[in-house]
Structure 1
Amino acid sequence: MALSSGAPALRTERLDLWHPAASDLAGLHEVVAPEAVRRFLGNRPTTMAEESARLLRNAGSWALYGYGTFVMRPAGGDTILGICGMFHSWRGFGKGLDDVPEAGWILGEASWGKGFAKEAMRAGLAWFDATHGPQRIACMIEEGHHASMRLAHALGFEAYAVHQVEHDERPLVLLERLNAGRPREHLP
């Protein structure tokens, strides 16, 4: 069963947010290919195979959990600007990032500084809360990615830990968004 229905899943003032489709692969690879975009994504070249795996993980999150990342396009347009949303995560290092909803966003360089990520993530979070109920959502951002940290804070995420990835210079800042009035969960 295809996720895409021929219409965006969500619309904002300037953006259409779509479920992922197989036809998105080339556009998604194009978004992530530039070194400037990858600099906080492990800073290594990407391949079509790696972006295919990312697309399949995102589609799998939708199929298995009923939520995943959206493919972001300008309202009424076809160009892929990036991806954003909540996906089901299992990072494998504990610290509150295993078997949980995780927020994430990746935008192409041409979309930076325009408020697209904030606009899309606000719509995605509102949809997630309304559809799946208020719950903890995790997020991880490579240390030094100031624009993403500002966005995460604006969306209500707060840092709770740091994780050092083997063979990586910069640690990951682990963040979470808790609902107002809910106590913080104990994290291992």
Structure 2
Amino acid sequence: MTNIETERLILRPQAIADFGVWYPMYADPQIFQVTNSPGFTPEEGWNRILRNIGHWSTFGFGIFSIFQKSDGAFLGETGLANFHRGIDEEFDNCAEASWVISRAAQGRGIAKEAAEAAHHWYVDSFSPPKTVCLIVKHHPASIRVAEYLGYRIYDECLYKGAECFKLERLCEK
């Protein structure tokens, strides 16, 4: 499996051992407001992290857990995955970028640094023509991260009752 290091971070594929630090991030109600996640029980969280782990063995890429290099603290997750949300065929056939940063780690550039490293690895490894992401309209910080990574809004949609932007990033070969 792939590990990525940046100046401040270690990214590694999610593992079941991450659940104890990962689930509290998703149990935070303020995280749900910006991720359009419906809020889930520990059982649903367990199933979600199992999905993320299984994604790696099925596709060879997926969601990384992000740790601070200096002390090993869990900071969030990022990566690209085939979520197949049912938005539309073109969107669902592309790898979709994702990042969620714990509230304690927000505002320090972690999302940009980690997502940029994950994108470089993914593009170098798989040479996709483009990647996509879905962001709720009321989350300007995530839109700024997407724009930093080279994403541009190309459409809007409703996803699980939330108004969202569909963004795409053309990948250079």
* TM-score after normalising by structure 2: 0.92
**Match 1:151 to one of 121, 136, 145:** 145
Distance in 2 separating the partners of 1:126 and 1:180: 11
- Is the Cα–Cα contact under 8 Å of residues 9 and 114 in structure 2 kept in the other structure? yes
What is the CA distance between 1:149 and its match in structure 2? 0.3
Count of aligned pairs: 173
1:1-58, CA deviations, whole angstroms, 9 ceiling, x for partnerless residues?
xx5xxxx700000001011111111211111111111112236432112222221221
- Is the Cα–Cα contact under 8 Å of residues 68 and 87 in structure 1 kept in the other structure? yes
Instruction: Give the root-mean-square deviation of aligned CA atoms.
Output: 1.8
Distance in 1 separating the partners of 2:44 and 2:15: 16
1:79-110, CA deviations, whole angstroms, 9 ceiling, x for partnerless residues?
22100011122111316321321000011001
Match of 2:120 in 1: 126
Distance in 2 separating the partners of 1:120 and 1:60: 21
In structure 1, stretches of 5+ residues that fail to align are 182-188
* Structure 1 pair 95–153 and aligned structure 2 pair: CA distance change class (3 A): farther
Distance in 2 separating the partners of 1:30 and 1:41: 15
Is 1:172 the counterpart of 2:164? The answer is: yes
**Match 1:74 to one of 57, 63, 68:** 68
Task: Indicate the percent of aligned positions where both proteins have the same amino acid.
Answer: 30
What is the CA distance between 1:76 and its match in structure 2? 4.5
Is 1:62 the counterpart of 2:56? The answer is: yes
Write out the 4+ residue segments of structure 1 that deviate beyond 2 Å after TM superposition. 41-46, 76-79
- Is the Cα–Cα contact under 8 Å of residues 165 and 172 in structure 1 kept in the other structure? yes
Distance in 2 separating the partners of 1:47 and 1:111: 23
* Structure 1 pair 125–73 and aligned structure 2 pair: CA distance change class (3 A): same
Is 1:115 the counterpart of 2:136? The answer is: no
Match of 2:41 in 1: 47
Moved more, 36-45 or 140-149: 36-45
Distance in 2 separating the partners of 1:130 and 1:98: 21
Is 1:161 the counterpart of 2:125? The answer is: no
Distance in 1 separating the partners of 2:157 and 2:49: 25
* Structure 1 pair 134–43 and aligned structure 2 pair: CA distance change class (3 A): closer
Matched letter for residue 61 of structure 1:
H
Distance in 2 separating the partners of 1:42 and 1:116: 20
